[in-house]
Amino acid sequence: MTRYAKVFLTLVVAAGLTVGLHGMAWAELSAQDKADISRVEDLLNGIQTLQARFTQLSDNGGTAEGVFYLQRPGRLRFEYDPPTPILIVGTGKTIVFYDSRLGQVTYVPIKSTPLGFLVDETISFSGDTEVVRVDREPGALAITLADKKGRRDGTITLIFSDSPLRLRMWRVTDAQGKVTTIALSGMRTNLTLDAELFRFVNPDPFGQTSGDPQ
Protein backbone atom coordinates (compact mmCIF):
# COMPACT_ATOMS: atom_id res chain seq x y z
CA MET A 1 0.00 0.00 0.00
CA THR A 2 1.39 3.44 -0.92
CA ARG A 3 1.80 6.17 1.66
CA TYR A 4 -0.96 8.09 -0.15
CA ALA A 5 -3.37 5.20 0.27
CA LYS A 6 -2.47 5.01 3.97
CA VAL A 7 -3.26 8.71 4.38
CA PHE A 8 -6.59 8.21 2.62
CA LEU A 9 -7.53 5.19 4.72
CA THR A 10 -6.71 7.04 7.93
CA LEU A 11 -8.72 10.03 6.77
CA VAL A 12 -11.92 8.33 5.70
CA VAL A 13 -11.81 4.69 6.81
CA ALA A 14 -10.13 4.76 10.23
CA ALA A 15 -9.83 1.38 11.96
CA GLY A 16 -11.77 0.70 15.14
CA LEU A 17 -10.35 2.18 18.33
CA THR A 18 -8.77 -0.15 20.85
CA VAL A 19 -9.42 2.11 23.83
CA GLY A 20 -13.02 1.03 24.21
CA LEU A 21 -14.71 4.37 23.65
CA HIS A 22 -18.47 4.20 23.41
CA GLY A 23 -21.26 6.70 23.16
CA MET A 24 -22.77 8.53 26.08
CA ALA A 25 -26.42 7.99 26.90
CA TRP A 26 -28.51 11.15 26.46
CA ALA A 27 -29.21 11.13 30.21
CA GLU A 28 -25.45 11.28 30.92
CA LEU A 29 -25.07 14.55 29.04
CA SER A 30 -25.27 17.81 30.94
CA ALA A 31 -27.77 20.50 30.00
CA GLN A 32 -24.91 22.49 28.49
CA ASP A 33 -23.77 19.44 26.50
CA LYS A 34 -27.26 19.01 25.06
CA ALA A 35 -27.54 22.70 24.21
CA ASP A 36 -24.17 22.69 22.45
CA ILE A 37 -24.98 19.50 20.54
CA SER A 38 -28.24 21.05 19.38
CA ARG A 39 -26.38 24.18 18.20
CA VAL A 40 -23.91 22.07 16.22
CA GLU A 41 -26.71 20.02 14.63
CA ASP A 42 -28.49 23.22 13.61
CA LEU A 43 -25.28 24.67 12.16
CA LEU A 44 -24.42 21.57 10.12
CA ASN A 45 -27.98 21.03 8.91
CA GLY A 46 -27.97 24.62 7.65
CA ILE A 47 -25.02 23.84 5.36
CA GLN A 48 -26.19 22.28 2.11
CA THR A 49 -22.99 23.01 0.19
CA LEU A 50 -19.50 24.01 1.30
CA GLN A 51 -16.21 24.99 -0.31
CA ALA A 52 -13.00 25.62 1.63
CA ARG A 53 -9.24 25.34 1.48
CA PHE A 54 -7.92 22.51 3.62
CA THR A 55 -4.60 21.64 5.23
CA GLN A 56 -4.09 17.98 6.13
CA LEU A 57 -1.69 17.13 8.96
CA SER A 58 -0.55 13.63 9.94
CA ASP A 59 1.20 12.35 13.06
CA ASN A 60 4.46 11.81 11.18
CA GLY A 61 4.67 15.49 10.29
CA GLY A 62 3.41 15.08 6.73
CA THR A 63 1.27 17.86 5.27
CA ALA A 64 -0.87 18.31 2.18
CA GLU A 65 -3.20 21.05 0.98
CA GLY A 66 -6.07 21.44 -1.43
CA VAL A 67 -9.72 22.36 -1.85
CA PHE A 68 -12.60 20.58 -0.09
CA TYR A 69 -16.13 20.54 -1.50
CA LEU A 70 -19.28 19.16 0.12
CA GLN A 71 -22.85 18.84 -1.10
CA ARG A 72 -25.46 17.09 1.00
CA PRO A 73 -26.62 14.44 0.69
CA GLY A 74 -23.79 12.09 -0.18
CA ARG A 75 -21.26 14.18 -2.07
CA LEU A 76 -17.79 15.47 -1.24
CA ARG A 77 -14.45 16.06 -2.92
CA PHE A 78 -10.87 16.47 -1.69
CA GLU A 79 -8.89 18.02 -4.55
CA TYR A 80 -5.24 17.91 -3.49
CA ASP A 81 -2.69 20.43 -4.71
CA PRO A 82 0.35 19.11 -6.63
CA PRO A 83 2.60 17.29 -5.99
CA THR A 84 0.16 15.11 -3.99
CA PRO A 85 -1.21 12.74 -6.69
CA ILE A 86 -4.52 11.86 -5.07
CA LEU A 87 -8.16 12.75 -5.55
CA ILE A 88 -11.04 11.73 -3.25
CA VAL A 89 -14.62 11.97 -4.52
CA GLY A 90 -17.86 11.10 -2.74
CA THR A 91 -20.33 10.31 -5.52
CA GLY A 92 -23.45 9.62 -3.45
CA LYS A 93 -23.14 6.12 -2.00
CA THR A 94 -19.42 5.61 -2.63
CA ILE A 95 -16.14 7.36 -1.88
CA VAL A 96 -13.53 6.98 -4.61
CA PHE A 97 -9.78 7.24 -3.96
CA TYR A 98 -7.65 7.82 -7.07
CA ASP A 99 -3.85 7.77 -7.07
CA SER A 100 -2.89 9.28 -10.42
CA ARG A 101 0.79 8.39 -10.00
CA LEU A 102 0.05 4.66 -9.81
CA GLY A 103 -3.25 4.60 -11.66
CA GLN A 104 -4.92 2.97 -8.64
CA VAL A 105 -8.63 3.37 -7.84
CA THR A 106 -10.23 2.30 -4.54
CA TYR A 107 -13.99 2.35 -3.87
CA VAL A 108 -15.34 2.49 -0.29
CA PRO A 109 -19.01 2.69 0.83
CA ILE A 110 -19.56 6.20 2.13
CA LYS A 111 -21.60 4.86 5.06
CA SER A 112 -18.53 3.00 6.34
CA THR A 113 -16.43 6.15 6.74
CA PRO A 114 -16.17 8.56 9.70
CA LEU A 115 -17.04 11.41 7.33
CA GLY A 116 -20.22 9.71 6.15
CA PHE A 117 -22.48 11.49 8.62
CA LEU A 118 -21.40 14.91 7.33
CA VAL A 119 -23.16 14.22 4.04
CA ASP A 120 -26.29 12.63 5.52
CA GLU A 121 -29.54 14.24 4.40
CA THR A 122 -30.26 15.10 8.03
CA ILE A 123 -27.44 15.29 10.60
CA SER A 124 -28.39 14.02 14.05
CA PHE A 125 -26.23 12.99 17.01
CA SER A 126 -29.03 11.10 18.74
CA GLY A 127 -29.51 8.49 16.02
CA ASP A 128 -26.88 6.24 14.43
CA THR A 129 -24.15 8.81 15.10
CA GLU A 130 -23.59 9.24 18.83
CA VAL A 131 -21.58 11.55 21.05
CA VAL A 132 -18.50 10.11 22.76
CA ARG A 133 -17.55 13.31 24.56
CA VAL A 134 -17.99 17.07 24.57
CA ASP A 135 -15.01 19.35 25.35
CA ARG A 136 -14.90 23.10 25.79
CA GLU A 137 -12.22 25.73 26.02
CA PRO A 138 -12.62 29.51 25.88
CA GLY A 139 -13.83 30.29 22.36
CA ALA A 140 -13.79 26.66 21.23
CA LEU A 141 -16.03 23.59 21.27
CA ALA A 142 -15.14 19.99 20.34
CA ILE A 143 -17.53 17.05 19.88
CA THR A 144 -16.21 13.51 19.42
CA LEU A 145 -18.50 11.13 17.55
CA ALA A 146 -18.79 7.41 16.81
CA ASP A 147 -21.25 5.23 14.91
CA LYS A 148 -23.40 3.16 17.25
CA LYS A 149 -24.16 0.50 14.59
CA GLY A 150 -20.49 -0.08 13.88
CA ARG A 151 -20.76 0.77 10.18
CA ARG A 152 -18.31 3.63 10.61
CA ASP A 153 -15.30 2.46 12.58
CA GLY A 154 -13.07 4.85 14.49
CA THR A 155 -13.97 8.25 15.87
CA ILE A 156 -14.06 11.75 14.47
CA THR A 157 -13.74 14.93 16.52
CA LEU A 158 -15.32 18.08 15.12
CA ILE A 159 -13.72 21.30 16.38
CA PHE A 160 -15.53 24.63 16.24
CA SER A 161 -14.73 28.19 17.08
CA ASP A 162 -17.50 29.80 19.10
CA SER A 163 -19.29 33.17 19.12
CA PRO A 164 -20.12 32.74 16.31
CA LEU A 165 -20.12 28.96 15.95
CA ARG A 166 -18.03 27.86 12.92
CA LEU A 167 -16.54 24.53 11.88
CA ARG A 168 -12.74 24.90 11.85
CA MET A 169 -11.32 21.37 11.66
CA TRP A 170 -11.81 17.68 12.36
CA ARG A 171 -9.57 14.86 13.56
CA VAL A 172 -9.85 11.17 12.71
CA THR A 173 -8.18 8.62 15.03
CA ASP A 174 -7.12 5.11 14.04
CA ALA A 175 -6.61 1.91 16.05
CA GLN A 176 -3.01 2.80 16.92
CA GLY A 177 -4.01 6.22 18.20
CA LYS A 178 -2.63 7.99 15.14
CA VAL A 179 -4.46 11.16 14.23
CA THR A 180 -5.08 12.83 10.88
CA THR A 181 -6.26 16.44 11.11
CA ILE A 182 -8.05 18.47 8.45
CA ALA A 183 -8.07 22.24 9.08
CA LEU A 184 -10.40 24.44 7.01
CA SER A 185 -9.93 28.05 5.90
CA GLY A 186 -11.71 30.45 3.58
CA MET A 187 -14.97 28.56 3.99
CA ARG A 188 -17.96 29.47 1.80
CA THR A 189 -21.34 27.84 2.33
CA ASN A 190 -24.61 27.35 0.45
CA LEU A 191 -23.20 28.30 -2.93
CA THR A 192 -23.95 26.59 -6.24
CA LEU A 193 -21.42 23.84 -7.01
CA ASP A 194 -20.83 22.17 -10.37
CA ALA A 195 -22.30 18.65 -10.35
CA GLU A 196 -19.19 17.45 -12.23
CA LEU A 197 -17.15 17.92 -9.05
CA PHE A 198 -18.86 14.83 -7.62
CA ARG A 199 -18.50 12.53 -10.62
CA PHE A 200 -15.52 10.25 -11.16
CA VAL A 201 -14.55 8.82 -14.53
CA ASN A 202 -11.52 6.54 -14.33
CA PRO A 203 -8.93 7.94 -16.76
CA ASP A 204 -7.17 4.56 -16.78
CA PRO A 205 -9.86 1.84 -17.01
CA PHE A 206 -7.13 -0.81 -17.28
CA GLY A 207 -5.39 0.29 -14.06
CA GLN A 208 -5.62 -1.33 -10.62
CA THR A 209 -9.06 -1.18 -9.01
CA SER A 210 -10.36 -2.42 -5.65
CA GLY A 211 -13.73 -2.22 -3.93
CA ASP A 212 -17.21 -2.02 -5.38
CA PRO A 213 -17.98 1.06 -7.50
CA GLN A 214 -21.74 0.35 -7.07
Domain with 94, as residue range(s), is 3-188
What's the pLDDT score for residue 148?
Answer: 74
DSSP-derived secondary structure letter, 8: H
Q: Where are the alpha helices (DSSP H) in 24-129?
A: 31-45
pLDDT band at 29 (very low <50, low <70, confident <90, very high): confident
High-pLDDT (> 70) share of the chain, %: 80
207 inside domain = no
How many angstroms separate the CA atoms of 154 and 14, rounded?
5
* CB neighbours of residue 168 within 10 Å: 16
pLDDT band at 207 (very low <50, low <70, confident <90, very high): low
Cα angle: 2, vertex 117, 75; to 5 degrees = 70
How many angstroms separate the CA atoms of 16 and 49, rounded?
29
| Beta-bridge mates of residue 6 | none
96 inside domain = yes
199 inside domain = no
Task: Say how many residues make up the chain.
Answer: 214
- Across 85-112, average pLDDT: 91
Domain count, the chain: 1
194 inside domain = no
pLDDT: which is higher, 19 or 165: 165
204 inside domain = no
- Specify the CATH number for the domain of residue 166: 2.50.20.10
93 inside domain = yes
CA 212 to centroid of chain Cα atoms: 20
pLDDT band at 21 (very low <50, low <70, confident <90, very high): very low
- Across 204-209, average pLDDT: 70
What's the pLDDT score for residue 12?
Answer: 46
18 inside domain = yes
The pTM score is 0.84
Which stretches does DSSP call E strand in the chain? Answer: 49-58, 63-71, 75-80, 86-91, 94-99, 104-109, 129-137, 140-147, 155-161, 166-173, 179-189, 208-210
